Chain A
Amino acid sequence: DGGITQSPKYLFRKEGQNVTLSCEQNLNHDAMYWYRQDPGQGLRLIYYSQIVNDFQKGDIAEGYSVSREKKESFPLTVTSAQKNPTAFYLCASSRGTNEQYFGPGTRLTVT
């Protein structure tokens, strides 16, 4: 099956800890994206990568970091510097400027 996978589905962390969210795609898409979604709200772009070994900040990159060492993988690290990390995190990929395909999301809770 082709698609985007995110793991885990639910993640719990203590405040002050860094946590890395996984995103893998086997669609052979060049571009990958990370979004954050808060309850009752739209998606806000954290980081995106249009090609391997290159990525750009989105609208709310502070407190987050990413890497793009492989075309298939785009992990997101939520650092302790992120003031309000509890949210639903969505990863997406696309071929060029066409539609983005989304993964199932990871719900992160930090207490």
Chain B
Amino acid sequence: GESVGLHLPTLSVQEGDNSIINCAYSNSASDYFIWYKQESGKGPQFIIDIRSNMDKRQGQRVTVLLNKTVKHLSLQIAATQPGDSAVYFCAENKNQGGKLIFGQGTELSVKP
């Protein structure tokens, strides 16, 4: 069925390195994508979003890349810090109002 999936369930990086978290989506009709960060026991926090008419969007230390040809989404975190340790979820909006379809999540672990 239609789904948003992640390539890697866990990612471990050294503090100061860049992190790349990947996400595959299956619905070419999706027009909006979003990344969330979830710390243990808390609700997800918005990180960055991108619409399908864009390929790249940058925020503070984060960049989202969208490749519609291969239906791939990635989140890049520059100079990863211990506070970035969390589970990261991508989600897509299949142009069905506000409904979002969430992926399984990638756990990012930052080693000091």
Contact = CB atoms under 8 A, between A and B. Distances in A.
A57 to B, nearest CB: 11
B34 A99 contact: yes
Interface stretch (A64-72, A79-87, A100-108): A100-108
A33 B54 CA distance: 27
Nearest to A43: B102
B5 to A, nearest CB: 9
A67 B34 CA distance: 27
Interface string B19-60: 000000000000010101000011111100100000000000
Sorting the interface of chain A by its residue count into under 10, 10 to 19, 20 to 34 or 35 or more gives 20 to 34
- Most-contacted residue by chain B among A42, A48, A100 (CB, 10 A): A42
A40 B98 CA distance: 24
B98 A50 contact: yes
A45 B99 CA distance: 8
Contacts of A96: 98
Interface of A: 4, 6, 31, 33, 35, 40-45, 48, 50, 58, 90, 92, 94, 96-105, 107
6 contacts: A4-B43, A45-B99, A48-B99, A97-B32, A98-B98, A105-B41
